[in-house]
Amino acid sequence: MSDRDRKQRFQRGGGKGPDKGRSSGHRPGGRDREASPDGSVILYGWHTVAAALANPQRRIRKLWLTENAARRLADDKIELRVTPEIVRPDLIDSRLGPDAVHQGLLAEAEPLDSPDINDLAQEGIVLVLDQITDPHNVGAILRSAAAFAVKAIVTTARHSPDATGVLAKSASGALELVPMVTVTNLARALNELNDLGFMTVGLDSEGSKDLGAMPLVQPLALVLGAEGQGLRRLTRETCSAVARLDMPGEIKSLNVSNAAVLALYIGASRLGLMGT
């Protein structure tokens, strides 16, 4: 059977397959500038799809599995929730591109709801991302946030990647665990966090204090800026404090996702949240 025949057979059996492009993984916020026409989210890879299937808040529209992936899900007793379409790996390859490591799983799903900033828990740590646009970095930050029990990630509707595709894969299931709050104006959102009693600490290499040496209190919001640009001026001015991450080596700056891990470790340690 030719690739064309297999593709036609697959389409007759389960529809046309997932649309390419990115869509918002959380509503609302207008982050669907590259969304698929029906507003769906594309999820692929073992941890990403398995976590979505385990999340009762995530509505799965369609599910494509290879025979091996379907067998593994059954062995792990993961409920599918929808009837899957069993397909060859190359059909998933053709929809995601040759660089996507899908491990035989591809799902089309509804975006998750975006909580309101006023509904955030008044405890623990929140991360705020100031125009971090690389989906790999944001996905890695999400994964670290889940590891440190971060209550939410606040990001902007514009100049941030959509919570789908590469970002979801990089997050390795954390997209289902850490709520993402989408705002239109970050400075206004920081002011709201200040009013709610959050200690808002911007991380900047020019910060006047070392994060590891300054007193920290809950609820804490750690604010991260994009690599190169760092925090924007208004963002920096709106934070209640600006701190740096002191390191003993010759290189004094880190990739933003690595800086997030270090800042979370310092924050969680200083707040007594480790091991809780």
Q: pLDDT above 90 covers what percent of the chain?
A: 70
**pLDDT value of position 34:** 34
Give Cβ neighbours of residue 150 (< 8 Å, ≥ 6 apart).
Answer: 124, 125, 126, 127, 178, 264
End-to-end Cα spacing for the chain: 56
Domain 3-113 has CATH 2.40.40.20: no
Least confident of 17-21, 144-148, 169-173, 186-190: 17-21
CA neighbor of 6 nearest in space, from 96, 119, 89: 89
More confident residue, 17 or 256: 256
Q: Is the pLDDT reported for residue 228 higher than 50?
A: yes
Mean pLDDT, range 145-174, rounded to an integer: 93
34-48, 124-138, 160-174, 211-225: least confident range: 34-48
Alpha carbon of residue 2 to chain centroid: 38
Report the chain's C-alpha Rg in angstroms.
Answer: 20
Query: What is the residue-averaged pLDDT of the chain?
Result: 86
Kindly tell me the sign of the dihedral angle through the C-alpha atoms of 8, 66, 20, 35: positive
Task: List where CATH 3.40.1280.10 sits in the chain.
Answer: 117-270
Helices (H), the chain: 3-14, 46-54, 67-75, 89-96, 135-147, 165-171, 186-195, 233-238, 256-270
5-32 per-residue burial string, b: 16 or more CB within 10 A, e: under 16:
eebeebeeebeebbeebbbbbbeebebb
Query: How many residues comprise the chain?
Result: 276
Q: Which residues contact 229 (CB under 8 A, 6 or more apart)?
A: 131
Start and end residues for every CATH 3.30.1330.30 domain found in the chain = 3-113
The pLDDT score that the predictor gives to residue 242 is 96
Average pLDDT over residues 85-109: 91
Least confident of 29-33, 156-160, 227-231: 29-33
Structural domain 117-270, CATH architecture: 3-Layer(aba) Sandwich (3.40)
- pLDDT for res 191: 97
Tokens of 275: 């091991």
- pLDDT band, residue 108 (cuts 50/70/90): very high
Structure tokens at 143: 């994964």
Q: What is the pTM of this model?
A: 0.83
**How confident is the model over 36-90, as pLDDT tens digits?**
556 789 999 999 999 999 999 999 999 999 999 999 999 999 999 899 999 999 8
Instruction: Give whichever of 21-30, 90-99, 174-183 has the largest mean pLDDT.
Output: 174-183
The pLDDT, as a whole number, for residue 85 is: 94
Q: Are the beta carbons of 276 and 244 closer than 8 angstroms?
A: no
Partner residues linked to 155 by β-bridges: 182
Which pLDDT belongs to residue 276?
Answer: 61
Q: Which residues pair with 15 in a beta bridge?
A: none
Judge whether 59 and 38 are in contact, CB under 8 Å. Answer: no
